């Protein structure tokens, strides 16, 4: 019962953390234009966060293995709070870069939260709990942009101060409500030290290496799609910003719905690799078909179908990684996975921007290609999973 209570506190922390991030993301470019930001500069600003997170996340995860999850999660959330304040008081574009880099360097909250879930779960219920955690992050991302838009009416700085307050609430909740999930005796027993070579050596471990690479590909596919989604809605469908916002919210909600269905799916299908294989196949088909349409209805059906089955990606992959990982390295390896997710988030928009010059439809075909490669790798993952079992 205590573990369940801790899970709900962790879910609450994740919701308000992602809510703060969701509030500011749609406003970054508008706010940055005050300081002369261009679309190219916006790309570098986005990449600066991902690059900082790539190096920091596995280190923070490894430190949580050694020092405990709770202090590292609190430090990560406090760093996010400070980054939002830097945005609000920015005097020039360098403040914005400093804020995004700070948030990236302290952005280990996702991997630490995942490690906390792994600490208090078994192989049978791990995917279910990861599904709840993914739903928590998803809910914040769905609600955040709408709330940010409303708050911006009172001034462009207001959403950043509000997001800082939300992050501070998450920090305080972690300190006073969350229970440590990694006992002191387990922390004292770990003598190994983290090195950045772990980013490479993790890719040599059976099952984990395949899962990390699939995670990277499917993340790159999603962030490639996001660029096509925005361009297609504006240039082809001529949708208003309000309609695009509602459309994107519906896309996020479909993923949350599927993540809440994880307990049922894991009872029906015993193999997480099989669930991932089926969901990736359906996601890829939906993405491929979306490249052939010029109508809103068919495009919406394809995107919502993709969003529905793509919602299984994180719960399944994180559960597979945790199931086949040393218990003393959960934070570190989940952090390594999140590092490669960060690179996928950075490379996806770059790839989409390059191919968008050919055709906006080509963006969806490129995304489908990344999914296809990930789908083919799921056969290998399923085989490795069965061999180790």
User: The CATH number of the domain where 17 resides is what?
Assistant: 1.20.1250.20
pTM: 0.78
Q: Are residues 50 and 83 in the same domain?
A: yes
Q: Are residues 100 and 212 in the same domain?
A: no
Query: Quick one: which of 98, 106, 95, 20 has its CA closest to 56?
Result: 106
Q: Are residues 237 and 351 in the same domain?
A: yes
Provide the pLDDT for residue 372. Answer: 97
**Which residue has 């297609």 as its token pair?**
232
What domain range is 47 assigned to? 1-193
- Tell how far CA 146 is from the center of its chain: 19
Long-range contacts of 80-84 (CB under 8 A, 24+ apart): 80/17, 80/20, 80/21, 80/106, 80/107, 80/109, 80/167, 80/170, 81/164, 81/167, 81/168, 81/171, 82/164, 84/20, 84/24, 84/160, 84/161, 84/163, 84/164, 84/167
Tokens of 10: 């962790």
Residue 38, Ramachandran bin (φ over 0: left; ψ between -120 and 50: alpha; else beta):
beta
For residue 1, what pLDDT band results from cuts at 50, 70 and 90?
Answer: very low
**pLDDT digits over 293-315, tens only?**
999 999 999 999 999 999 999 89
Euclidean distance between CA atoms 121 and 118, whole angstroms:
5
Query: Quick one: which of 301, 138, 139, 307 has its CA closest to 225?
Result: 307
Q: Are residues 333 and 256 in the same domain?
A: yes
Please say if the pLDDT value at position 157 is more than 50: yes
Q: Are residues 152 and 276 in the same domain?
A: no
Please say if the pLDDT value at position 280 is more than 70: yes
Q: Are residues 224 and 338 in the same domain?
A: yes
Q: Are residues 224 and 342 in the same domain?
A: yes
**pLDDT digits over 251-269, tens only?**
888 988 999 899 889 888 8
End-to-end CA separation in angstroms for the chain: 29
Average pLDDT score over residue span 82-91: 93
Percent residues over pLDDT 70 in the chain? 92
Q: Are residues 23 and 101 in the same domain?
A: yes
Q: At what angle do helices 39-67 and 69-88 cross, to 10 degrees?
A: 160
**pLDDT digits over 373-389, tens only?**
999 999 999 888 777 76
Domain count across the chain: 2
Q: Are residues 207 and 172 in the same domain?
A: no
**pLDDT digits over 329-357, tens only?**
777 788 788 888 888 888 888 888 888 88
Mean pLDDT (the chain) is 85
Which of these three, 174, 193, 212, is where a domain ends? Answer: 193
Which of these three, 135, 159, 193, is where a domain ends? Answer: 193
Distances (CA, A) of 173 to 11, 76, 105, 200: 11, 13, 21, 35
Which of these three, 145, 176, 193, is where a domain ends? Answer: 193
Provide the pLDDT for residue 39. Answer: 64
Please say if the pLDDT value at position 122 is more than 80: yes
Average pLDDT score over residue span 11-25: 81
Q: Are residues 177 and 261 in the same domain?
A: no
Query: Quick one: which of 231, 209, 181 has its CA closest to 333?
Result: 209
Q: Which residues contact 327 (CB under 8 A, 6 or more apart)?
A: 186
Please say if the pLDDT value at position 205 is more than 90: no
Q: Are residues 5 and 124 in the same domain?
A: yes
Provide the pLDDT for residue 193. Answer: 57
113-117, 159-163, 185-189, range with greatest mean pLDDT: 159-163
Provide the pLDDT for residue 4. Answer: 75
**pLDDT digits over 131-143, tens only?**
888 888 888 878 8
Q: Are residues 173 and 212 in the same domain?
A: no
């Amino acid at each position: 019962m205590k573990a369940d209570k801790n899970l709900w506190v962790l879910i609450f922390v994740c919701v308000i953390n992602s809510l703060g991030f969701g509030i500011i993301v749609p406003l970054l470019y508008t706010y940055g234009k005050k300081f002369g930001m261009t679309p190219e500069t916006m790309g570098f600003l986005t990449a600066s966060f991902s690059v900082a997170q790539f190096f920091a996340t596995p280190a923070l995860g490894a430190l949580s293995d050694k020092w405990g999850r709770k202090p590292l999660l609190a430090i990560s959330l406090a760093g996010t709070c400070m980054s939002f304040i830097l945005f609000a008081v920015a005097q020039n574009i360098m403040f914005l870069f400093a804020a995004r880099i700070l948030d990236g360097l302290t952005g280990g909250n996702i991997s630490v939260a995942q490690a906390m879930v792994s600490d208090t779960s078994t192989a049978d219920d791990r995917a279910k709990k990861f599904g709840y955690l993914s739903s928590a992050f998803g809910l914040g991302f769905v609600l955040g942009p709408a709330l940010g838009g409303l708050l911006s009416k009172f001034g462009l700085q207001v959403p950043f101060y509000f997001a800082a307050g939300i992050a501070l609430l998450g920090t305080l909740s972690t300190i006073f409500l969350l229970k440590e999930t990694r006992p002191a005796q387990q922390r004292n027993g770990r003598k190994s030290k983290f090195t950045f070579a772990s980013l490479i050596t993790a890719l040599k471990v059976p099952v984990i290496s395949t899962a990390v690479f699939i995670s990277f590909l499917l993340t790159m596919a999603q962030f490639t799609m996001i660029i096509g989604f925005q361009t297609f809605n504006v240039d082809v469908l001529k949708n208003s910003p309000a309609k695009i916002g509602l459309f994107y919210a519906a896309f996020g909600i479909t993923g949350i719905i599927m993540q809440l269905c994880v307990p049922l799916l894991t009872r029906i299908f015993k193999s997480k690799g099989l669930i991932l294989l089926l969901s990736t196949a359906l996601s890829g088909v939906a993405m491929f078909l979306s490249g052939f349409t010029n109508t809103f209805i068919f495009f919406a059906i394809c995107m919502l179908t993709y969003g529905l089955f793509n919602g299984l990606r994180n719960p399944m992959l994180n559960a597979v990684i945790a199931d086949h990982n040393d218990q003393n390295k959960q934070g570190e390896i989940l952090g390594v996975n999140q590092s490669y997710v960060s690179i996928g988030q950075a490379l996806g928009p770059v790839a989409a921007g390059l191919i968008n010059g050919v055709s906006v439809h080509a963006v969806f075909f490129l995304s489908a290609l990344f999914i296809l490669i990930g789908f083919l790798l799921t056969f290998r993952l399923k085989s490795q999973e069965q061999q180790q079992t």
